Amino acid sequence: MSSDVVLLPDAGPLITLAYADALDVLFKPRWSVMLVDMVLHEVTRNQTPTSKKLAKWAKSKKVSVVPTKTFQHYQRMLAETPPRKANLGELAIQEAMNDFALAQPPKTGVFLFEDHKIARASFHVPDNCRKISTRAFLIFLEEKGWLDSAAEVERRALLAGRAFSSLRFPL
């Protein structure tokens, strides 16, 4: 994989890495990092311990935001009735990965997730895309020599108050 790979983090990994003050590890593989609009909205719409940090990081790093029909629909529904919020970030990422598969040439997408339900779900990943957990991604970075310690990042997130997924792979 090379710089033509796009890393698409879900809300969970962004929040965990923000707690650990380790958001910049997302750039370690030298892949493009993009946020789908719905995920960016999810992590910044309410005041949380990480919302301002995530908004500032995305802006200062000039992280590209991928527009999705999922987010457009969500915004339209806000005006009419309280919209469904569950799993919209994942749906938006699914939409982006499907668009990657249809692009010419197809883009390679890496979906970074943390929610253990996604690991077991029938989330369709096109042939040109992959999904990887936060923990597995950190271990990958450590194995490549791009991160001193995956366990240290996890420890910092836990000490800062993040309830990090206890799921370990393989399932």
Tell me: the pLDDT tens digits for 88-118? 888 899 999 999 988 888 889 999 988 655 5
**Distance, C-alpha 117 to centroid of its chain:** 15
Domain-by-domain residue ranges, the chain?
5-159
Residue by residue, DSSP assigns 111-159 as: EEE--HHHHHS-----TTEEEEEHHHHHHHHHHTTS-S-HHHHHHHHHH
Tell me: the pLDDT tens digits for 32-52? 999 999 999 999 998 999 999
CATH architecture of 5-159: 3-Layer(aba) Sandwich (3.40)
Tell me: the pLDDT tens digits for 111-149? 998 865 554 455 677 788 888 989 999 999 999 999 999
**Is residue 88 within 8 Å of residue 41, measured between CB atoms?**
no
